[in-house]
Amino acid sequence: MDLLNTLVEKGLRRETPTREEALAVLATSDDELLDVVAAAGKVRRAWFGRRVKLNYLVNLKSGLCPEDCSYCSQRLGSTSGILKYTWLKPEQAAAAAGAGVAGGAKRVCLVASGRGPTDRDVERVSQTIAAIKEEHQDVEICACLGLLSDGQAERLKDAGANAYNHNLNTSEATYGDITTTHTYADRVSTVRQAQAAGMSACSGLIAGMGESDEDLVDVVFSLRELDPDSVPVNFLIPIEGTPLAGDWNLTPQRCLRILAMVRFVCPDVEVRLAGGREIHLRTLQPLALNLANSIFLGDYLTTEGQAGKDDLAMIADAGFEVEGTDTTTLPAHRADAAAAGCGGHGGEGGGCGPCGDAAPADAVPGEAVPARAAAGATVAAPAGTRESHADLVAVRRRGAGTDLPPNA
């Protein structure tokens, strides 16, 4: 049986592909791309139908970070002309969140720059969560505050945070090439702390930082082992004033192959199409909805995204529908585990990770999907620097931290 049919069947059984199969997806040709999207789309629809979950970012504190992450415009030494401001007041953050909810967002992601929160910062965020929940009691809250100290995850959970985001970003082997002020192990530890506290874990990657196919597969398999409930797939936004400003290593076709590989490795997880989709996928964004079941609405932390109304039109035109607050995002086996206090299924040693449950009975493989790729195909590292689209990168000048209305 060919590669793609094998991957579809494994995805419907929640069975992990081999590394060779994952690498083979990344090695497929452009002529095979629609076959790859169609195959991964079967897995996506089996677990999530045609629903698209909308998420909305609120940057609580922008810039002034002591960490040296090479991809980040808020990093130590950055000369990017981004907005810089200290903590938003709870009512300011709630107003920003309200714009996203009004635009259809089901989850609000509260993000603050820095190595990690102080206990006073956790109290600030707790007050912000309360202010948002008072206005929008059904909205999900995800906190993203950096590395956590003992007890902080529990305090955030008690304050009403449903989830915690901390991305692995890249493979363990290459992590030191992009950041020196903390370690890959620090990031893994924070994800596990969030899970242990009973929060849903959100952890993903950034593609386009010069990594090889092997690095991409390594980080996605590491995520599979951690077993977060949501996996954001970011594509590097090369922002002027950062060390990676000149790194344009992605094409729309490569982005789609990366998303397909993530879906095959993490079949029943909320795969989120995150930062950089507009500048790297460009007119192929609608195809990516066949792979990811979640996107960010509107702007990002320091850069502008596609207009919110255009996001909604894209979803409708592609034949998908916005997921409502009355619908549970995760498949029943994940949602039930989270409700039982499994906290995203993770923990030391992978916790109660994927256990091989099959997809719903009505979600069976369709007809054979043609493909010419074969497992074990030769995998080449990405080609050199691609065409620059720096003209598509716009620093955010509206929304949180400004007097202008947000994009939602």
Return phi, psi of residue 171, to 5°.
-70, 155
Q: Is 144 a catalytic residue?
A: no
Q: Is 69 a catalytic residue?
A: yes
Q: Is 65 a catalytic residue?
A: yes
Q: Is 109 annotated as a binding residue?
A: yes
Catalytic option among 14, 44, 107, 109? 109
Catalytic option among 14, 44, 72, 254? 72
Q: Is 272 annotated as a binding residue?
A: yes
Q: How far apart are CA 50 and CA 27, in angstroms?
A: 27
Q: Is 266 a catalytic residue?
A: no
Q: Is 144 annotated as a binding residue?
A: no
Q: Is 202 annotated as a binding residue?
A: yes
7, 19 in Cβ contact below 8 A?
Answer: no
* DSSP bridge pairs for 52: 322
Catalytic option among 202, 255, 266, 342? 202
Taking Cα atoms as reference points, which of 145, 43, 107 lies closest to residue 359? 43
User: Length of the chain, please?
Assistant: 408
Catalytic option among 142, 144, 255, 342? 142
DSSP string, 126-155: HHHHHHHHHH-TT-EEEEE-SSPPTTHHHH
Q: Is 142 annotated as a binding residue?
A: yes
Taking Cα atoms as reference points, which of 390, 388, 398 lies closest to residue 298? 398
Catalytic option among 124, 224, 272, 396? 272
Handedness of CA 12, 17, 22, 24 (dihedral sign): negative
Q: Is 352 a catalytic residue?
A: no
Q: Is 253 helix (H, G, I), strand (E, B) or coil?
A: helix
Q: Is 72 annotated as a binding residue?
A: yes
Q: Is 355 a catalytic residue?
A: no
Q: Is 255 annotated as a binding residue?
A: no
Catalytic option among 69, 144, 266, 342? 69
Per-residue tokens: 274: 């995150």
Q: How far apart are CA 188 and CA 192, in angstroms?
A: 6
Catalytic option among 14, 65, 107, 192? 65
Q: Is 255 a catalytic residue?
A: no
| Binding-site sequence positions | 65, 69, 72, 109, 142, 202, 272
Q: Residues marked as binding for [4Fe-4S] cluster? A: 65, 69, 72
| Active-site amino acid positions | 65, 69, 72, 109, 142, 202, 272
Q: Which residues are annotated as a binding site for [2Fe-2S] cluster?
A: 109, 142, 202, 272
